[in-house]
Amino acid sequence: MSETVNINPQRRRALRLLGAASAIGAFGMAGYGAGAFAQAEEQHIKMTVKRFEYSQSEIHVKKGIPVVVEIVSLDVPHGFSVPDFKVRAEVVMPGKPTFIRFTPDKAGEFLYVCDVFCGSGHEALEGSLFVT
């Protein structure tokens, strides 16, 4: 035996809106899920480092927008340091990514260097960070 449940029109509308909001949250809105908005809020740079070279000798980023540098050593422990922004990390495990997050607060060209001795030629391991 089935029972009929009467729901007033206002409650029915509220339930429909709740269902629609849940669907949008679960599947994204026309391809713009929450992940798409989060990615637009930061700049992601992937690079590798090996004796005596960064895979990117230049990095270009925007002032005021957070930067995440994902760096992987291909051989021995290295460092990544941007002294002008007080950014420093050790890239110690070859093959395992190290994530460095910072927000550039001034424009210009800034040097990044390896600050972990990695052998003869270490002093030439550097690159330029351009902030516009």
> Quick one: pLDDT at residue 100?
97
Q: H-helix or E-strand containing 10?
A: helix 9-27
Same domain, 22 and 49: no
Among residues 25, 41, 57, the one where a domain terminates is: 41
Judge residue 127's burial from the number of C-beta atoms within 10 Å of its C-beta, 0-12 exposed, 13-18 middle, 19 or more buried. buried
pLDDT in tens, 43-77: 999 999 999 999 999 999 999 999 999 999 999 99
Same domain, 59 and 8: no
Provide the whole-model pTM. Answer: 0.68
Distances (CA, A) of 111 to 21, 22, 83, 129: 47, 47, 8, 6
Same domain, 34 and 14: yes
Same domain, 28 and 81: no
Please state which of the ranges 32-41, 55-64, 119-128 shows the lowest mean pLDDT.
32-41
For residue 18, the SS3 value is helix
Give residue 27's domain range: 1-41
